[in-house]
Amino acid sequence: MNFSFIDLFAGIGGLRLPFEELGGECVFSSEIDESASKTYEINFGEKPHGDIKKISAESIPDHNLLLAGFPCQPFSIMGNMNGFSDTRGTLFFDIERILKVKRPEWILLENVPQLRTIQKGNAFKVILDRLRKLDYFVHYKVLNALDFGLPQKRERLFIVGFQKNYNFSFPSGNGHKKYNLKNILENGDSTKEYEASDYIKEKRLKSVKDKNIFFPSVWHENRSGNVSIHDFSCALRANASYNYLLVNGKRHFTPRELLRLQGFPEDFKISGSYTKIRFQTGNSVPVSVVRSVAKEMIHSIKKNDVLPYVTSPNGQIEMEL
């Protein structure tokens, strides 16, 4: 299926990859972070445009699909959950102004699950109401990367919109192979430079002396200093403590492992210092989850199974499927 799309708040291209696989052509991208833009350019052969707030909607090419993993810091647990009172939260309105002018038939937005509940749900209601007033039939659901074959507990909110009332359902992930931490880990010399300090390793070992230790595993230290041992990684975070995740209690994830945790292909390249790489992967989306959502979207569009509705799209109730 041939279609065009734009990639807003593009990061390193986690939303773009699956839609290109399904026949889409990216006609415009935007990303403000320089390190992410460099990685994006290395992999896709184009440097994204900069700050979307400085780009007019009229200058953006026509497209069938708008993709946007708009900044989640205003809505995340790790932030202050200020929502639209945080200036970054207002970036949704840049998505809205582009939708008003370009009128793409389909949209896919991605954010953190907390977007639904902050400010007593008012911020999310604003988003849904504004999408509905633009004649989109809206579906939303929280999906976990663990259910899609990735050894990372990463929940993300996906919002899908169509200008037709397609019979669309989100993938459940139940048919995917169970995640396996061992499959993403590197061994040998490639991991040596990522060893934690002796002090950190000893401290972490003391913290788990009464716990069931197994290998391979990820030892996760939360903000309270409590350490848990899992056969998966807790969610990667862009600005997390350097030592909050340790493989087998001894080392940090390598850059390739970080990419694998997010489902990026083996030939995907990443640039910058290790700190920048952690930031880029921590800000990205689980590609395997996006791929499953993308396939369901394209399936619904191809099938063209349009459900009847009594009210206009402006009056329809958003659907959580």
Instruction: Give the tokens for residue 197.
Output: 């300090």
- Percent of the chain whose pLDDT exceeds 90: 78
pLDDT digits (tens, 9 = 90+) for 188-204: 888 999 999 999 999 99
Helix pair 274-282, 34-44: axis angle to 10 deg: 80
- Who wins on pLDDT, 77 or 146? 146
Q: Is the pLDDT of residue 120 over 90?
A: no
Q: Is the pLDDT of residue 74 over 80?
A: no
Residue 72 annotated to the active site:
yes
Alpha helices in 122-207 (DSSP H): 122-133, 198-207
Q: Using a CB cutoff of 8 Å and minimum separation of 24, what contacts does 273-277 make? A: 276/35
Mean pLDDT calculated for residue range 105-134 = 91
The pLDDT value given to residue 175: 54
- Who wins on pLDDT, 241 or 141? 141
pLDDT digits (tens, 9 = 90+) for 208-232: 999 999 999 999 999 888 999 999 9
Q: Domains plus CATH for the chain?
A: 3-175+284-315 (3.40.50.150), 187-253 (no CATH)
- Whether 69 and 33 have beta carbons less than 8 Å apart is answered as no
Provide the pLDDT confidence category of residue 81 given band limits of 50, 70 and 90.
very low
Say which of 67, 72, 235, 246 is annotated catalytic: 72
In one-letter notation, the amino acid at residue 296 is: E
pLDDT digits (tens, 9 = 90+) for 255-307: 999 999 999 999 999 999 999 999 999 999 999 999 999 999 999 999 999 99
In b/e form, how buried is each residue of 205-236, taking b as 16+ CB within 10 angstroms?
A: eebbeeeeeeeebbbbbeeeeebebeebbbbb
Q: Using a CB cutoff of 8 Å and minimum separation of 24, what contacts does 226-234 make? A: 230/153, 231/151, 231/181, 232/146, 232/151, 232/152, 232/153, 232/179, 232/181, 233/151, 233/152, 233/153, 233/181, 233/261, 234/152, 234/153
